[in-house]
Amino acid sequence: MVVRNRFISGIQSVDAVVSVFLPVSLGIIMLSLGLGLTVADFAGIVRQPRAVIAGLSAQVILLPVIVYSFVIAFGISGELAFGFMLLAASPGGVTSNILTKLVGGTLALSISLTGLISLLSVITVPLLVVFWAGLFLNAGDVTVDVTSLALKMFAITTVPVAIGMIIRAIAKDLALRIEPVLSVIAAVLFVVIVVGAIAASWSVLADNWATLAPMTALMVLCLLALGWVIARLVGLSAPDRAAIGMETGIQNSTVAITLAGILHAGPEALPVIALPAAVYGILMYLGALPGGYLMYRAVKRAP
């Protein structure tokens, strides 16, 4: 009886992680994003149609193609392959805005693209999840209800961003005071989620580290370069190229990890499909450092 009660308690704890901690953590992260957004940021989209089209094309269309190419080239399959594609379907992260600023990129463009693609993810993510699940997973590995997933995406991404923007619009001073605090909390939650996902699939990570580590680091560099090249092809300035490069290379791994927990049909709170996003959450900085330095040099040399 004691063993049974402990087992039930364990299952309830797992459910709590999936149904409460992960969505709430992501909501806080997205709220911190919304506090930094204004209507004027989105108005800038109208003034920069080439930049927005280039950013959307790189992140929504070409990024999944590049990630899929890496998955095939490195022989990744099953849940790990689906995990990488789940990451590719996720929007850009708040970190991309910070890195864009550090390398001298166009911050307004970066923020606009992060917000826009986060809003579009309500539509794009459920459709892409269904497609990649059918390609890489067996029936029953994940539970995908497109309508339900779209509503959950709306609740944990769009709603917090909208609330943050409303607070910024009606109480700017309050938003400016709480934004730094929320940013720190968001960073801590990000670390907790990444560490938890890695710990939950440690044996899988150990068995596949020699493949996952170089693949992920190289993939980040290629995605950074992809955004830069696409922006250059349409004639954008060096700061705009840096912004789109960072938006393309730095994905929101917290979204992917949260979705992994929601989608998985098994008892694990953080299943194997969350592992690629967790590894990426750490190794993206290895690619962002050299890539960001090259962007910084290019922006400084630009007329």
Per residue in 202-230, pLDDT (tens digit) is 787 788 888 888 898 899 999 999 999 99
Q: How many CA atoms lie within 13 A of 156 on its CB side?
A: 24
Domains of the chain: 2-301 (1.20.1530.20)
How far, in Å, CA of 209 to CA of 28, rounded?
31
- How distant is the alpha carbon of residue 92 from its chain centre? 5
**Is residue 4 very low, low, confident or very high in pLDDT (cuts 50, 70, 90)?**
very low
Instruction: Tell me the pTM.
Output: 0.80
Q: With contact defined as beta carbons under 8 Å apart, do 87 and 256 qualify?
A: yes
Neighbours of 18 (CB within 10 A): 20
Neighbours of 269 (CB within 10 A): 22
The yes-or-no verdict on residue 139 having pLDDT over 80 is: no
Token readout for 296 is 């910084």
The number of residues in the chain equals: 303
Burial of 234 (0-12, 13-18, 19+ CB in 10 A): middle
What pLDDT score was predicted for residue 117?
A: 84
CA distances from 141 to 83, 198, 214, 266 (A): 12, 19, 27, 8
> Of 68-77, 109-118, 154-163, 191-200, where does mean pLDDT reach its minimum?
191-200
The yes-or-no verdict on residue 18 having pLDDT over 70 is: no
Task: Tell me what the mean pLDDT of segment 33-50 comes to.
Answer: 74
Predicted confidence (pLDDT) per residue in 116-128, tens digit:
888 888 888 888 8
